[in-house]
Amino acid sequence: MEEAAQRAEAADATASQGLMKANNEAGGKPISQTASYSDYLKQKQDAAKAWAAVSRRSADPRAASLQGGAQFKNRSADFDAREAEFDKRQGQNREDGAYITTQNAALEKKTSDAAEAQRQASETARERYIAAMVGGAEGRGRAGGTQLDFVGGPNPYANSTWAQQQGGWEAAQLKKVGGTAAQQAGVWGAYTGKGRWGQGQNSTQNMNREMSPWAPEDEED
């Protein structure tokens, strides 16, 4: 009887290991869908048979008296309860995983949307800056040149050193934010009086010279 009980205990341990293996393989799905589940079922049946052999009362009165009325429990119900508990946990894992996936997707979209909104805002600001620099260059140059030079005439800032320097600086700023070569030249021309007295000051060579102190190192001309 003791040997039979030991065999039953060993069969129980083997079935428990089989159940744990199936649970570990589940990865969130029902354990019945794992590759090792069929092995576990056979191990559970073997354990049940072993316990049945232990608990079966001997027909021999002397052997029955040696059993001493011991009651050995069929462990199948215990395994069934553990399977149900493992399946419940696997289901919770699936729900948790789906929730985390949803939250991560929402966070990624929020981050992406924020980045896109920031990009669009930056692009809008850049375009407005370029438009303001290009559109207001002649007015800024005329006002600044008049205040500094006081030479009068139709184009008081045409030959002004200040006009060339300021025009070069603004052209360099346009270059940094992606303004076109034509826009850079337009600002330079607005400050140096392109088409008026300052035609000679409007050369690309002079513009590049005045831009160079403020141009990025890798963009110097």
Q: Which of 86-95, 122-131, 158-167 has the highest mean pLDDT?
A: 122-131
How far apart CA 168 and CA 145 sit, in angstroms, is: 14
Q: Decide which of 43 and 162 is more confident.
A: 43
Q: Decide which of 49 and 58 is more confident.
A: 49
Query: What DSSP string runs through 114-142?
Result: HHHHHHHHHHHHHHHHHHHHHHHHHHHHH
Q: Which tens digits make up the pLDDT trace of 15-54?
A: 999 999 999 998 888 888 999 999 999 999 888 888 887 7
Contact 44, 78 (CB under 8 A): no
First-to-last alpha carbon distance for the chain, in angstroms, is 99
Q: Which tens digits make up the pLDDT trace of 202-219?
A: 467 788 888 988 876 655
Q: Shortest CA distance to 58 belongs to which of 46, 50, 66?
A: 66
Q: Which long-range contacts (CB under 8 A, 24 or more apart) does 108-115 make?
A: none
Tally the C-alpha atoms within 13 A of residue 83's C-alpha that lie toward its C-beta.
19
- When mean pLDDT is compared across 96-110, 138-152, 172-186, the lowest value belongs to 138-152
Kindly tell me if the per-residue pLDDT of 154 is higher than 60. no
The stretch 79-93 carries a mean pLDDT of: 88
- At residue 137, φ and ψ (nearest 5 deg) are -60, -45
Q: Decide which of 173 and 55 is more confident.
A: 173
Q: Specify the pTM.
A: 0.54
How far apart CA 10 and CA 53 sit, in angstroms, is: 14
Lookup result for tokens 């360099």: 172
Kindly tell me if the per-residue pLDDT of 180 is higher than 80. yes
Q: Decide which of 156 and 90 is more confident.
A: 90
Q: Domain extents for the chain?
A: 2-110, 120-219
**For the packed helices 2-26 and 37-55, what is the interaxial angle rounded to 10 degrees?**
160
Q: Decide which of 58 and 86 is more confident.
A: 86
74 CB-near residues (< 8 Å, 6+ apart): 48, 51, 52, 55
Q: Which tens digits make up the pLDDT trace of 106-153?
A: 999 999 999 999 999 999 999 999 999 999 998 888 777 655 544 444
How far apart CA 175 and CA 33 sit, in angstroms, is: 64
Contact 192, 164 (CB under 8 A): yes
The stretch 149-173 carries a mean pLDDT of: 70
Helices (H), the chain: 2-26, 37-55, 61-67, 76-149, 161-176, 181-192, 204-211
Q: What mean pLDDT value characterizes the chain?
A: 80
- Residue 198, pLDDT score: 43
Neighbours of 179 (CB within 10 A): 22
DSSP state of 220: -
- When mean pLDDT is compared across 12-16, 71-75, 129-133, the lowest value belongs to 71-75
How far apart CA 92 and CA 4 sit, in angstroms, is: 39
Q: Decide which of 121 and 164 is more confident.
A: 121
